[in-house]
Amino acid sequence: MLQEESDLSLVIAQIVQKLKGSNLYAQLERQAWASLQRPEIKLESLKEDIKEFFKISGWEKKLQNAVYSELSVFPLPSHPAAPPEHLKEPLVYMRKAQGSWEKRILKSLNSMCTELSIPLARKRPVGEQKELLNKWNEMGTDEPDLSLFRPVYAPKDFLEVLINLRNPNYENGDSLSFRTHLGLIQVPLKVKDIPELKEFFVELGLTTGQLGIDDSTQVPPELFENEHVRIGQKVLAEQDSAAAQQYIRQGSPTALRAELWALILNISSQPEDILYYEQLKTNVIQHDLLVDSLIYKDVKLTASNDDYYFVFEDYLYQVLLCFSRDTSVLGHFAYNSASPPKSYIRGKLGLEEYAVFYPPNGVIPFHGFSMYVAPLCFLYHEPSKLYQIFREMYVRFFFRLHSISSHPSGIVSLCLLFETLLQTYLPQLFYHLREIGAQPLRISFKWMVRAFSGYLATDQLLLLWDRILGYNSLEILADCPKSIVP
Amino acid sequence: MILEKDPKPWNQNYKGHGLSKGKEREQRASIRFKTTLVNTLMDVLRHRPGWVEVKECQEASGPRVADTPVVQREPKGSRQPGFVEGDWDFYWCDVSWLRENFDHTYMDEHVRISHFRNHYELTRKNYMVKNLKRFRKQLEREAGKLEAAKCDFFPKTFEMPCEYHLFVEEFRKNPGITWIMKPVARSQGKGIFLFRRLKDIMDWRKGTAGKKLTSSEAQPARSAVNPPGGHDARSSEDQKDEIPVENYVAQRYIENPYLIGGRKFDLRVYVLVMSYIPLRAWLYRDGFARFSNTRFTLSSIDDQYVHLTNVAVQKTSPDYHPKKGCKWMIQRFRQYLASKHGPEAVETLFSDMDNIFIRSLQSVQKVIISDKHCFELYGYDILIDQDLKPWLLEVNASPSLTASSQEDYELKTCLLEDTLHVVDMEARLTGREKRVGGFDLMWNDGPVSREEGAPDLSGMGNFVTNTHLGCVNDRKKQLRQLFRSLQSQKKASS
C-alpha cells in the first residue's frame, strides 16, 4: 500500500513537473488571474471558487485531458533509483542490440555521404531559398536526381537483425518439445495469450457492436450505428479525452474521426502551434539536409506510387521535412530504446561540445517511412494540424515499430505475439509454411512495421488505427495478420 | 442452370466455348455477338455462357480474329431486297458503323445494338446545349423559375461560330474570366484550349465564319496537344489548314474547382439507358475520379496538362507515371468527402448529380429516336466546384473501355457484365427488378424510390431515390441471389 502511494506521488510529481513548463499552465494561470474580476470569486473562498470556475468554463476538462495524455505516454512506474537507460529499455541485451543496429545505420548513412560527397547539412543560398518558398505547396513537381540515393535500410534488413536477437542468459536446450517456438523470433519475451487478449480487447468481442462490421448495408442502422454516432457526438461535445479513447474502441464514424483523434491525442491548434510549425518551415527553407533527399526518395518510391495516396504527395513533403527539423521530438528518446545519432562539427570528432543531433529530430527515415503520414492526409488538411497529429502518433506509437525493445507494443513483442498466436491456433498452417520455406513472419513483418499503411484499404486502415488509439497499444497489429495470412 | 463465371485476370487468355445449353431455354440456342472492340469487352463477351462470336464476313472493315469459332448461320426466310441481313443477335458497334449502316440493317425483334441512332443529340456538345436550353425554357413555362433552375448544371455555353455575337456580349459582361474552347465532336481532350482575351479567338473566327460542319468526323489520329506554352491563335490556325473545319463551343471555365491534394479532378459516372420512350435509366454504383497530374493554378492556362483531366491527355504529361493511373474509385472519393464535410453534404451532392443525369436525359427524350433494339451505356463527366456543386462537362456515348490498371480492368469488366445482365438477351429477368448487380434502376418513366414497395411518388418529403453511386457494390452476392430466385420462380411457374 505504501509502495503504491509513493509510486503514485512520484508519478504525480513528474506529471506536474512536465505540465508546469507547458503552454497549458501559462493559460491556466492567465485564466485564474482574469477570473478574479468575476463577481462569483470571493477572497475568503478563493481556492474553491477558482476551482469551480475552471470546472464550469471547461478548463478543468482541458487539464484532465493533458494529465490523461501524459499518463498514456508515461513509461511504466519503475524504481526511483533506476538509471535513465532503464526507462528507455530495461533489458541489457536489447539495449546492446539496438546500439549496434544504430551503428550500422549510421555507417550506411556516412558511407553514402562520402560516396556522393554531399554534406550532411548545408545552408541554402538566398536564391534557392526563395525558389523553395514559392514551390512550398507543390514540392512534388520537383524532380531532383535521386538515382544515387538509396534508402538507409528497409524493413527486411531490420527483420534480419531481429531474427538474430538472443538473450545470453537464456538457454534453450537442443531438445525439441511442444513448447519450442518454431518461429523466427527467438527471445523469451512475455506476450499475451488468447484469454489475456480477449480480456484486453473486450470491446472487440462478438457481442459488442463494431463499426466496420455492424454498420454494413444489411444491418439496419437503428441496431447500432445511429446510437453509436450519437454517443460520438456527445463525447466530442464534452471534450473528454478519456471518454473518447474508450468510445473509439468500437470504431469511429467517418465524419467524427478527425476530431476524435485530435481529442485523444490532445491536439488543439493553438496559435503557438501554428507558429511553431511555421518556424520549422523556415528551418527547412534555410537549411538543406541530406535526410531531405532520403525523404524525397521515399515519398517518390512509396506514397506517390500508391493508388490512394498519390494525391497527397505535397502534404507528405510539408510534414516530413519539418518533422526532421523538430527538436521537440528528441523528448521521446527518454522512453525509446533508440538514441538519436550524433554528428560532430568537422575536425572536432569526439568532442561533446561540438556535437549536434543529426537529423535535428534524431529520427532517420527508412524505406516506407512516409506511409505513416499518408493515411492521416485523409483526415487533416491543414498542414500544421496534420503535422501535430503525425508527430504525436509517432512519439506515442510508430517509433516502437522500428526500434529494438522489450516493450509489449515494441516490434519484437508484436512479432513474437503474431508467431505465437499462429503457432498455437493455426499450427498446421504454420508448419506447412515453414516446410515450404515461407516463414509467416517474413510475409507479415512489413505489414506490421508500416502499421498496415499501404497494405489495407484506407477505410479499413483507419478503423484499425482507431483501435490502436483506443487501446493505446499496437498489439492489435499482431492480431490482424492472423486473419489475413490464411 | 447457368452459373456466373468471373472474368479471368487480364494477363490470361481464355477461349470462348460457344456451347449451347438451352433445351430448357425458350429463346435462342446461342447468342451470336459481334464487336470490333477488344480488351475488356471482348473478354466479357467471350466468357458469357452461351454466347458465340460471329466472324467478320460481309463488312470489309474490322480485323479478322484468328481464333474465333465458326459462326452458326441459321437458315432465314426470303431476304428483303436491298437490305443487308444481320447475322448476329448482339452488336457492340462503334458510332461510325452505326452512322453508315443502321438505316439499312434489318434487325429481328430480339436483336440488340449498343447505340441509339441519333445519340449525338446528347453527346455532341453543341446539340446537348441546344436541347438543354430548350428543355429549360419549357420547364420554366410549365413549372416556374425554381424548377427550371435545376437545369443550371451546365456552364454558360455558346456555339461557335453562329452564336459568336451572343458570346461576345456575355464575354464583355464578365471581363477577366477564363473561357474554354472545345471542339464539338472530338474526344480525349483533343483541340481544347483556354483563353481570356477576345484577341485569342478573333483570328480563329475570321477563318471559320460561314463554314458549316462537314458530315465526316475529324480524323481521330490527329492530336491537337501542343507542347506546353504553345497555345495562341496562330497554332489553332495551323490546325485549321490541315483538317476540315468543325464547330466549337465556347464555355465558361469553372475557375474554382474542388481540389484534393491541390489537384483538379473530374468524375466519370456510368449511366445505362435502355429506352427513351418511356425513359428507363440505370446508374452504376462504381465510377472513378480522374486526377490531373499537376497542381491547379489559374496562372498557367497555357499548361494544358493541368486543366484537362482526361487520362488521354495526362498520359502525355512529363510527370506521368503509367503505374499510377491517377484515378480514385468513387467510393474512395465519397469517403474522403464524408470525412471532410459530413454525410449530409455528401448526400446533397450525390442527389444533385442524380438530378443532372435525369434532366439531361429528359432534355433529349423527345428528340432521340427510341428504337427498341437500342440501348446505350453513357460515360458522364462531372466536375465539382468548391461549393460542392456538380457541373456537367459532357456525356460520352462510347466511354473508354480500355483498362489502365488491374482495378480499372475489374471495374470495366464488371460494368460490362452487368450491362449485359440488364440487356438480358437470355430473357431471365422479370422486368420488375430495381437492382441488377452494380446497376440501380434510377428512372423508370418516373422516379424510382429506394424503399421497398413504396409507391414511386415524387414531391414527397421523405422520398429517397434508388441510387447508390459511390456506395458498396456487393454485386456478386446480389447477382447470385437474384438469379437463384429467378430460377426458382421459373420452376414454380412451369
Q: What is the reported pLDDT for A321? A: 94
Task: Write phi, then psi, for A35 (nearest 5 degrees).
Answer: -70, -20
pLDDT digits (tens, 9 = 90+) for B414-427: 999 999 999 988 88
Give the nearest partner residue to A255 out of B262, B343, B405, using CB atoms. Answer: B343
Q: From the CA of B465, how many Å to the nearest CA of chain A?
A: 16
| Kind plus residue range of the DSSP H or E element containing B488 | helix B475-493
CB B419 within 8 A of CB B283: no
Over chain A, what is the mean pLDDT? 84
pLDDT digits (tens, 9 = 90+) for B444-466: 998 888 876 555 455 445 677 88
- Report residue A139 as a C-alpha cell: 514540392
Q: How far is CA B375 from CA A103, B59, B92, B111, B239, in A?
A: 68, 23, 10, 11, 36
Q: Of B384, B389, B411, B390, whose CA–CA distance to B400 is shortest? A: B411
pLDDT digits (tens, 9 = 90+) for A143-183: 777 777 888 888 888 999 998 888 888 776 666 666 667 78
Mean pLDDT of A254-268: 91
B328–A311 CB contact, under 8 Å: yes
B336–A378 CB contact, under 8 Å: yes
Task: Write phi, then psi, for B276 (nearest 5 degrees).
Answer: -100, -35
Give the nearest partner residue to B339 out of A216, A254, A311, using CB atoms. Answer: A254
- With cut-offs at 50, 70 and 90, classify the pLDDT of residue A203: confident
> What is the distance between the alpha carbons of residues B179 and B204, in angstroms, rounded to a whole number?
15
Residue B237 has pLDDT above 60, yes or no: no
Q: What is the reported pLDDT for A306? A: 84
| Kind plus residue range of the DSSP H or E element containing B113 | strand B112-113
Residue B284 has pLDDT above 90, yes or no: yes
Q: Of A78, A80, A100, A81, whose CA–CA distance to A89 is shortest? A: A78
Q: How far apart are the first and last CA of chain B?
A: 15
- A257 → chain B, closest CA residue: B339
- With cut-offs at 50, 70 and 90, classify the pLDDT of residue B209: very low
- Report residue B191 as a C-alpha cell: 483541340
Q: In chain A, which residues have their Cβ closer than 8 Å to the Cβ of B262?
A: 137-138, 314
| Kind plus residue range of the DSSP H or E element containing B396 | strand B390-396
User: Which of A2-6, A199-203, B166-170, B230-234 has maximum average pLDDT?
Assistant: B166-170
Residue B218 has pLDDT above 60, yes or no: no
Q: What is the reported pLDDT for B396? A: 92
Q: What is the dihedral of CA B202, B207, B210, B214, to 10 degrees?
A: -120
Q: How far is CA A205 from CA A195, A421, B94, B478, in A?
A: 12, 17, 55, 29
Mean pLDDT of A79-90: 76
Q: Is B192 helix (H, G, I), strand (E, B) or coil?
A: coil
Beta carbon pairs, A and B, within 8 Å: 60
Residue type, A47: K
Q: Is B269 helix (H, G, I), strand (E, B) or coil?
A: strand
Mean pLDDT of A397-410: 91
Percent of chain B exceeding pLDDT 90 equals 29
Q: What is the reported pLDDT for A110? A: 84
Q: Give DSSP secondary structure letters for A290-347.
A: HHHHHHHHHHHHTGGGSTTTGGGHHHHHHHHHHHTT-GGGGGGGGSSS----EEE-TT
Q: In chain B, which residues have their Cβ closer than 8 Å to the Cβ of A378?
A: 335-336, 339
> What is the distance between the alpha carbons of residues B351 and B337, in angstroms, rounded to a whole number?
14
User: Which residue in this structure is represented by grid cell 475570321?
Assistant: B206
Vertex B259, ends A385 and B148: CA angle to 5°? 130
CB atoms within 10 A of CB B209: 10
Buried/exposed B16-54: b ≥16 CB within 10 Å, e otherwise: bebeeebeeeeebebbbbbbbeeebbbbbbbbbbbbbbb
Higher pLDDT, A26 or B61: A26
Mean pLDDT of A266-289: 91
| Kind plus residue range of the DSSP H or E element containing A95 | helix A92-116
Q: In chain B, which residues have their Cβ closer than 8 Å to the Cβ of A216?
A: 472
A138–B262 CB contact, under 8 Å: yes
Residue B383 has pLDDT above 90, yes or no: yes
Residue B37 has pLDDT above 80, yes or no: no
- With cut-offs at 50, 70 and 90, classify the pLDDT of residue A88: confident
CB A157 within 8 A of CB A368: no
Chain B residues bordering chain A (beta-carbon distance below 8 Å): 260-263, 291, 294-295, 319, 321, 323-328, 332, 335-336, 338-340, 342-343, 405, 407, 471-472, 474
- With cut-offs at 50, 70 and 90, classify the pLDDT of residue B206: low
Q: Give DSSP secondary structure letters for B163-180.
A: THHHHHHHHHHSTT--EE
- A300 → chain B, closest CA residue: B321
Select from A216, A225, A310 the residue whose CB has the most chain B CBs within 10 Å, as the one to mutate to test that interface.
A310
Tell me how far the alpha carbon of residue B364 is from its chain's centroid.
Answer: 15
User: Which residue in this structure is represented by grid cell 464534452?
Assistant: A238
- B330 → chain A, closest CA residue: A308
- With cut-offs at 50, 70 and 90, classify the pLDDT of residue A358: confident
A254–B325 CB contact, under 8 Å: no
CB B322 within 8 A of CB B314: no
Q: Is B185 helix (H, G, I), strand (E, B) or coil?
A: coil
- B474 → chain A, closest CA residue: A217
- With cut-offs at 50, 70 and 90, classify the pLDDT of residue B16: very low
- Report residue A374 as a C-alpha cell: 499518408
A138–B295 CB contact, under 8 Å: yes
Q: Of B127, B107, B109, whose CA–CA distance to B118 is shortest? A: B127
Q: Is A254 helix (H, G, I), strand (E, B) or coil?
A: coil
Give residues with Cβ within 8 angstroms of B291, minimum separation 6: A310, A311, B260, B261, B263, B264, B265, B309, B326, B327, B328
Residue B174 has pLDDT above 70, yes or no: yes
Percent of chain A exceeding pLDDT 70 equals 91
Q: In chain B, which residues have their Cβ closer than 8 Å to the Cβ of A257?
A: 339
Q: What is the reported pLDDT for A185? A: 83
Q: From the CA of B159, how many Å to the nearest CA of chain A?
A: 35
- A306 → chain B, closest CA residue: B324
Least confident residue range of A32-36, B214-218, B344-348:
B214-218
Give the nearest partner residue to A257 out of B321, B332, B339, using CB atoms. Answer: B339
B328–A138 CB contact, under 8 Å: no
CB A57 within 8 A of CB A83: no
Task: Write phi, then psi, for B438 (nearest 5 degrees).
Answer: -90, 0
Select from A215, A233, A311, A458 the residue whose CB has the most chain B CBs within 10 Å, as the one to mutate to test that interface.
A311
Q: From the CA of B10, how many Å to the nearest CA of chain A?
A: 18
Mean pLDDT of A21-36: 83
CB atoms within 10 A of CB A224: 18
Q: From the CA of A315, how many Å to the nearest CA of chain B?
A: 7
Residue type, B445: D
Residue A1 has pLDDT above 60, yes or no: no
CB B297 within 8 A of CB B255: no
Residue type, A84: P
Percent of chain A exceeding pLDDT 90 equals 24
ipTM higher than the 0.95 cut: no
Q: Of A67, A30, A70, whose CA–CA distance to A50 is shortest? A: A30
CB A419 within 8 A of CB A185: yes
Q: In chain B, which residues have their Cβ closer than 8 Å to the Cβ of A259?
A: none
Q: What is the reported pLDDT for B241? A: 39
Vertex A298, ends A293 and A301: CA angle to 5°? 125
Mean pLDDT of B284-299: 82
Q: In chain A, which residues have their Cβ closer than 8 Å to the Cβ of B408?
A: none
- B407 → chain A, closest CA residue: A307
Vertex A128, ends A123 and A131: CA angle to 5°? 140
Q: From the CA of A16, how many Å to the nearest CA of chain B?
A: 36
